[in-house]
Chains A and B, each alone.
Chain A
């Protein structure tokens, strides 16, 4: 398998594309991704996603917005917030280094104004919640898992502020259909496990190993998936991929896992690297694995 950089004359095989969660997060990654993202999405007339992506969007984007908002109110300055994120946060919290507030610097005339605008933007982002996923796709979203948390994870506190709660689903309290979804697509999950188990060591990632292990456990007892921390969370990208069954094109930023999943599902994998020099790439099955090894 290898990734090849797309040129302007590319014509996709299908009019529809499935966006995984990483693409939804791209919408908030600023100008380095924006033009390429728009170009990629412009190739398709129908954009789909999974309702399960809402949970991941909440865990990544809404949780970050909540942290930034709390810190912004505490420090009372967007400049001090950026300094805090860049210089104070320890390396293991680097996932919080998400936003640069680039345009806020242009719009706000004073530091107070910039801070106020950053707060208004973060508030709006948080209040909109997982509806952002719906708004960026064509309805209806794929809803194989009937994920409960995607609809209810955003709560309003007594003081009026919105907060994203990390899922705490338990198998003792069945709230979704993730186990039924697994049973329904049992053969596909088995194929994914087989494909992962057959991979050479240099292509295996921790996440792929985890997929294989959890699928193995769920084949014996699908209800383990109902437990968020030990079940569906560990299989998230695979669940979303299987929910995309029927789509012939799949867009992602996680090429390592997606190159395996799209191969099993017979999809064309579009990869959007963070580095603008690499453009937009497409996976061609049958050669080396890294998008950095050729074609870019």
Chain B
């Protein structure tokens, strides 16, 4: 799609612009969120629009409709939205597990969105647990996973948001993935021969 969100990423001004009406601001936020949500959607299936929309509604609720103006910058906003995306999807996956039954009809949109993510992460609840554990070791890596996986940020964006060099973000990302991979699927990482 031609309006690649990256192009708009350069603005570093205050997210809520001076003199901007609430309506305009909301429109912009909505656009951003919709972009964020739909970037997750792999193919061109029309249902993905619905999924993205369902995610956006959730994001709005989660981010709180009263304090949108609080965000200092677009970067701050993206980072918050990525965290919110994580908790929406994980909460959803958790509650689905708890219910152990087919959820109500239209909830499927969020289900499908979660499935899109799970195609690349495996069980979201397990991922979340692993992230909590990783957070105890190096919180910065969790933030990176949120931005990259839940927020679909490019490496360049992640580097800017975390104020690190691109090279070290690449290093962090590779490590975080390997660490999570091992944690999520202990069998896949073969035990090293000769280990204790």
User: Do A and B form a real pair?
Assistant: no
